Amino acid sequence: MKVQKCKGTRDLSPEEMARFRLIEGVFRDCCLKWGYGEVRTPTLEYLHLFTATGTLTPNMLGKVYSFLDWDGWSGERVVLRPDGTIPVARLYIENMGDGKIAKLFYVANVFIFEATGKETREKWQCGVELVGVNSPLADVELIKVVLEVLGRLGLGDAELRLSHIGLIRSLLHQLGLSSEQQTRIFDRILDGDREALTKIKPAQPELKEAFSQLLDLKGKSPEFLKDLAALFSQSLPQLKPHLDNFITIVDLLEELGCNYHIDLTSGKGFEYYTGVLFHLFWDGEEIGGGGRYDALIPLMGGGSIPASGFALYLDRLMNLVKPQSAAGSHRILLGSEPSKIGAVKESFRLARQLREAGYVVALNLGGEKLADFRWLVDVRKGPIFILTDQLKGKKFGLKTAGEVLRILGEEGGSKTSPA
Amino acid sequence: MAVKLALPKGRLLDETSALLRRADFGLSGYSKQVRFYHLKCRRFPNLLARVFHERDIPIQVAVGNYDLGICGLDWVEELLAKYPTSAVVKVKDLSYGQAALYITASRLSGAATVRELGLKSGIIRIASEYPNLAESFALKSRWRRFSVFPLWGAAEVYPPESADLALIPVKTGEELSSYGLVKVSKVLEGGAFLIANAASQAGKDLAGVVASIDDGLLATEKTAPSVEVVEVGGDTLAEAGDDTVWLALPDGHQQSPTLSLLSRANIQVNDNLVNRRPTTNLDGVKIKIIRPQDMPLQVANGNFDLAVTGRDWLREHRYQFPSSPVKELLDLKLGKVKIVAVVSKDLAVADVDGLRQFSYESDVPFRVASEYVNIADKYARDNHLGPYRVIPTWGASEAFVPEDADLLIENTQTGRTIARHNLKIVDKLFESTACLIGSAHCVKGKGKRIESIITALKAVVEGG
């Protein structure tokens, strides 16, 4: 039998893990500095958590990994978390649900079946949830956080596309469709079907006008939105609060010098979104997104608590970042004659001292690639330490650990900057 | 290259057999009393025809064990509801065996539309032989919280006490009314289909077989079943109190010995078994006739307090749910069968050590087919049978060996059926008899009545 991993899964090599940890590290650091706290939720949740609220589309729910637990004779299914936000909302309601503001972030995997083989079924996300506050300022804060993370990863030029789910919902509502039809179209939009909106041909002339204007609304200009708000204030007053909210956010982003595009048709997301929706793209590929979801916590029975959040897609970011090579100046390969117990003891002692001084010290167990190390140390009885600098082609015979450290310092430069 | 065709047992057998006769297949032994599952075909000597339970056919075709199959659209859709990427192609609507699947509710339940059900705050319990279609319907209906009870059969008798809804095939309105059910929503309508494996259709020459089946089709309009609800006089459901003891009795071959045992214990069960709700002389006790396979799960959920089932099905349940509250209360010493491990007579394996060696020497995963999925899984696991796969079957497991399974976990009374299918027993797992089961979580107020039933039965069983 061939040994192989599960279909749709992915192994991460040390080199890939270095990318993973780089992103995770930058993300955690940014969040902590903005005053957010890290949380972790279980991989397993009850399926009804996700069906209860109509929060995932039936299409998504048809692709979750759910099963009966060992005590699931009641038919209560558990599921491998298919989404990051709902479990955090659950955590908030269960442990903090006092209506107070909570600034939370997490790094978690989510599981959704994927049939094409183009993507993995287990995906990693860096997510942020800002619970208990509904203001354009909060939405803008999230956008600033996500842009800061991307900036620090060298992806500051990512494209930011803005849409507004409240506006889309309100538009669909005006079309006079049954609530089932509205839901169906809305689900298609959320599943990423960009044509779902453009295919609609409203019968009423004023709606037709509003529709084409809004769908054509691409580019960067709060003024344009303001014109539209003025235009529709008489004919479609229901759109006004959403347009006003959108304008305030866009104005703020403008003031803060953010680059963005408005594209109402880019609605891919979750059914729990209610307000501004944003997506981040790099070279046409989506690398993250988020938005306002004021309806989620009320639907879950947690009271009328607003919230918004975003997630960055770690698997995609991993292909875009380049961690600084850790190989080189501070890696030391330490060897000794295994049969000489005194030398072995001495080598362990030296290794500890070097590690305490900040060096990476690998013991030579045989088969190591010498090119991965700048320094080689051979420990002989005596003790005598033969230190080789592979970069400069120098060799030193030394008697104490202190001497080894001194030469490493003199020849290798400071430990925090590569030689 | 041989073309492999999977044919149904059961409700579609007669018409499928007639169709293949008109198509001049010259199949030997494909009739009601089908005794062998490997059939020869005169017209297409290269055709390998095998008889399966209808429900197994889409799965066998999807995994590529069979190139073609004939079965109801319901079972094709049941597979696709859960596994939409299955390699099954619907080739031809054969226009017979029309049936419609409905979500139904008790007439007494009040809530009768999908929308009303969506507003319910509690758990909606759906009983069905079609768990995947039921789940998919519940998701599309955006019901907030629901549980699906997968069943082997008799879903129609579950609402309203044992489930809120049943997803069932409905033939006539009278039938529906006789169970006190009303339609909530149609889920599916269709009849027998010729289906093909996608890869076989692309890579194999199936044209001759498909064309001849097409030729055999009668040029008749298909008749959609008319499912007008007919009101029948009087409600079949009498009020049941919270302290009513619910007793489940088996259908099928266990029914008659069970009834005679009950009768010897002075528990009379009237013979109105048609709507699966016989009455009894016991006060405060209500009876439903359901499938023995489904009983442990139902008792675990408190839908029934007592049930007469086989120890094999109790074990099957406990292997899946080790902390289940269901326990055996009394061995009824009826219907003794052995649960055995079975292989092809032609396989040079004599015991479990031989099985293990065979499984390790094989280049492909070892295949265990069984109606007892969890017992089979545990057997393979405990005996370290290499990398293995359990193939769930719905009966007629003998048809799987040797091409589509290496090992069967089966029950047998005499071993004759096993021998007739050119199979042999290589291991005995355990003996199973009928037993009375109950729950460790006894509901208050029922204890006395439950105890008196156990005592009465015990006296008969122990008195010989």
For each of chain B's 464 residues, which pLDDT tens digit applies? Answer: 789 999 999 999 999 999 999 999 988 888 877 777 788 888 898 999 999 999 999 999 999 999 999 999 999 999 999 999 899 999 999 999 998 999 999 988 775 677 777 777 789 999 999 999 999 999 888 888 899 999 999 999 999 999 999 999 988 778 888 888 999 999 999 999 999 999 999 999 999 999 999 988 876 655 555 555 444 444 445 567 778 999 999 998 889 999 999 999 999 998 666 789 999 999 899 999 999 999 999 999 999 999 999 999 999 999 999 999 999 999 999 999 999 999 999 999 999 999 999 988 888 889 999 999 999 999 999 999 988 999 999 988 888 998 899 999 999 999 998 999 999 999 999 999 999 999 998 777 888 999 999 999 999 999 86
Find out if CATH 3.40.190.10 is the number for domain B99-189.
Answer: yes
Q: Which of B277, B278, B259, B275 is nearest to B267 (CA)?
A: B259
In this predicted structure, what is the pLDDT of residue A272?
Answer: 78
Q: Are strands B434-439 and B423-432 parallel, antiparallel or unpaired?
A: unpaired
Identify which of A269-273, A329-333, B290-294 has the greatest average pLDDT: B290-294
Q: Give the chain A residue whose CA is nearest to the CA of B139.
A: A58
Of A48, A53, A62, the CB nearest to B136: A62
Q: Would the CATH topology of B3-96+191-216 be identical to that of B245-328+438-456?
A: yes
Whole-prediction pTM? 0.86
Residue A218, amino acid: K
pLDDT at A417: 39
Homologous superfamily assigned to B3-96+191-216: Periplasmic binding protein-like II (3.40.190.10)
Tell whether B27 is within 8 A of chain A (Cβ): no
Q: What is the pLDDT of residue B86?
A: 92
Domain B337-432 CATH assignment equals 3.40.190.10: yes
Q: Percent of chain A at pLDDT above 70?
A: 93
pLDDT at A325 over 70: no
Q: Give the pLDDT score at A30.
A: 98
User: Is A53–B144 a contact, with Cβ atoms under 8 angstroms apart?
Assistant: yes
Mean pLDDT score across all residues of chain A: 87
Cβ <8 Å between A51 and B365? no
Put simply, whether B378 touches A (Cβ < 8 Å) is: no
Would you state the pLDDT for residue B60?
A: 93
Instruction: Please answer yes or no on whether A51 and B300 come within 8 Å at the CB atom.
Output: no
Cis peptide before B160 (omega within 30 of 0): yes
B47-52 β-sheet, strand order: B38-39, B47-52, B3-8, B68-72, B192-197, B88-93
Contact B297 A73 (CB under 8 A): yes
Whether the per-residue pLDDT at A192 is higher than 90: the answer is no
SS3 B355: helix
Check whether the bond before B325 is cis (ω within 30° of 0).
no
Structure tokens at A237: 């007053």
Extract the tokens encoding A20: 């993973």
Topology of the domain covering A328-411: Rossmann fold (3.40.50)
Among B145, B321, B324, beta carbon nearest to A48: B145
Can you give the residue ranges of every domain in chain A? 14-317, 328-411
Q: According to CATH, what is the number of the domain A14-317?
A: 3.30.930.10
Question: CB neighbours of A287 closer than 8 A, spacing ≥ 6?
Answer: A150, A155, A158, A280, A281, A312, A313, A316, A317, A320
Q: Where do the domains of chain B lie? A: 3-96+191-216, 99-189, 245-328+438-456, 337-432
Q: Does B322 touch chain A (CB under 8 A)?
A: yes
Distance CA B267, CA B247 (A): 12
pLDDT at residue B5 in the model: 95
Is the preceding omega at residue B402 within 30 degrees of 0, hence cis? yes
Give the number of other CB atoms < 10 A from CB of residue B228: 9
How far is the alpha carbon of A54 from chain B, nearest alpha carbon, in Å?
A: 6
pLDDT at residue number A204: 72
- DSSP symbol at B413: S
CB B433 within 8 A of CB B347: no
pLDDT at A219 over 80: no
Query: How do residues A80-138 score in pLDDT, each as one tens digit?
Result: 999 999 999 999 999 997 889 999 999 999 999 988 878 899 999 999 999 999 999 99
Environment class of B198 (CB within 10 Å of its CB; exposed 0-12, middle 13-18, buried 19+)? middle
The CATH number for B245-328+438-456, chosen from 3.30.70.60, 1.20.120.330, 3.40.190.10, 3.90.1150.10, is: 3.40.190.10
